[in-house]
Amino acid sequence: MPPEAEAGDGGAEDIRTVILMRHGETDWNRQRRVMGTLDIPLNETGREQCASAAMLLADFGVTRVVTSPLERAADSASRIASRLGVMVDEDPDLEEVRFGHWQGLSYEEIVSHEDYRAFAADPTRNPTPGGETIVQVQGRGLEAVGRARPGERVVFVSHGDIIRAILSHYLAVPLDEFRRIRVDNCGLSAITSRRGRAEVKFVNLLADPDRVWEPLHWSRKVSAPTS
């Protein structure tokens, strides 16, 4: 990316900065249950994660927060915005994947479902029972973050799989491999763009970095956070 303040090119006013944050932890994360579009509240750990993330963001120059309307994301966004002294907008395009009849089930329960096996094998062509492929999820996520305006530094509070899909685009990761990208609760990832050129600044930055060593959340052998 060119220097940010090159003479005569508008400098930092041309730059859009998108910070992606996954919502804080819920009890269903720890229970490894699929939330999808169900409204599940933050637990105490999730509220503490939001407070820590807000402290980390305090020096980032955030100008606005945009959130998924689902409760766990909207509450996370409100806590962040209150600490940063900025406004919050909602965008339904940031909602979690529509998982249909998988919602409420544990990952152990859905792995034997034929439609889950098809989605896991090729998420770009096979939709969830809620009717979405990961291509469609990525598309609405990119639409949402694309609405950031020049000169803004916006935190978008969303959900695990949609954040992975957005990052896959900017990292040029094949979309069928989107789950290779680690996205923890309240993990922060940043992208700057200018004149159509984008740069990923960091991925899954945590205020409490020891969490990155926890087992992968979709492992069937351990209890760890899920989307």
For the segment 45-65, what is each residue's pLDDT rounded down to a tens digit? 999 999 999 999 999 999 999
Give pLDDT, residue 205. Answer: 96
Interatomic CA distance for residues 48 and 9, integer angstroms:
42
Residues labelled catalytic: 23, 96
Give pLDDT, residue 209. Answer: 84
Residue 189 has a CB neighbour count (10 Å cut-off) of: 25
> Among 85, 106, 63, 83, which residue's Cα sits nearest to residue 186?
83
Say if residues 32 and 226 touch (Cβ distance below 8 Å). Answer: yes
For the segment 164-182, what is each residue's pLDDT rounded down to a tens digit? 999 999 999 999 999 999 9
3-state secondary structure 32-69: CECCCCCCCCECHHHHHHHHHHHHHHCCCCCCEEEECC
* Listed range (8-12, 51-55, 116-120, 121-125) with the worst mean pLDDT: 8-12
Give pLDDT, residue 216. Answer: 61
